Amino acid sequence: MSTYLLVHGAWAGGWSWEKVVPLLEEKGHAVKVIDLPGHGMDSTPPSKVTLQDYADKVCQALDVFDDQVILVGHSMGGIVISQAAELRPRKIKKLVYLTAYLLQNGEALMQATQEDQDSKLGQYVVLSEDGSCITLEDESLKAVIYPNSTDEDVKRVKQFNVPQPTIPIATPINITAENYGSITRVYIECTNDLVISPSTQKKMYTQMPCEKVLSLATDHTPNYSSPHELVKQLLKC
């Protein structure tokens, strides 16, 4: 049996894995979720949050385990698991990118989003006056991020959404072949994703080759819309 550490994406929190955790546990696996700084129940002000803070939070969780962990990052969580992997390569059995930003050394997520001309999310994001965070217009949830989820789930998600700090996503990741590059990578692409376009996903896992590329015919958030199918893919990793 394996141990999974699940890292959420932008505007989200550990709650975003609530449908996935029990399914993995039913299969006998150990599962841990965290709230990154400024997300979920963590009240750190967005203006104070850095990419290093994100990575440190993951490293703290990794340090609790004696065995190696399968580290899963969703969406924005991709840059977080990459940076954490650079710091704790021996603690990680495998890195799994769930329709996530799989970036090369020196790249920043914000740059990657600006280059994704097929993404439908840009029209719904709002930068705060002080530039410290980005919020979403409510319509984006059903229109782009959770289009295949039920209205009830979308209503629930809306209650938990938090502003996304800008500093972490504007910061280039710093990874090396010696540390980060020593860990096996798997990419799970979502072919109906409106947030990170399928073409951008393919571009990333082509530039950063993975041991496996698995596919889900789902939207950006299979953790909500297709949890059973997602877990089947996670078990193949």
Q: Give the pairing type, strands 92-98 and 3-7.
A: unpaired
The catalytically annotated residue of 53, 116, 193, 219 is 193
197 among known catalytic residues = no
pLDDT band of 137, cuts 50, 70, 90: very high
**227: CATH:** 3.40.50.1820
pLDDT at position 143, please? 97
Q: How many domains does the chain have?
A: 1
HEC letters along the chain: CCEEEEECCCCCCHHHHCCCHHHHHHCCCEEEECCCCCCCCCCCCHHHCCHHHHHHHHHHHHCCCCCCEEEEEECCHHHHHHHHHHHCHHHEEEEEEECCCCCCCCCCHHHHHHHCCCCCCHHHEEECCCCCEEEECCHHHHHHHCCCCCHHHHHHHHHHCCCEEHHHHHCCCCCCCCCHHHCEEEEEEECCCCCCCHHHHHHHHHHCCCCEEEEECCCCCHHHHCHHHHHHHHHHC
The catalytically annotated residue of 75, 82, 119, 140 is 75
pLDDT at position 169, please? 98
pLDDT band of 68, cuts 50, 70, 90: very high
Q: pLDDT tens digits for 187-222?
A: 999 999 999 999 999 999 999 999 999 999 999 999
User: Residue 72's beta-bridge partner residues?
Assistant: 6, 96
Structure tokens of 142? 């059903």
Instruction: State which residues form the domain around 89.
Output: 3-236
- Other C-beta atoms lying within 10 Å of the C-beta of residue 10: 26
140 among known catalytic residues = no
Q: Is the pTM of this model over 0.95?
A: yes
193 among known catalytic residues = yes
The catalytically annotated residue of 8, 39, 74, 220 is 220
Averaged pLDDT, 165-187: 98
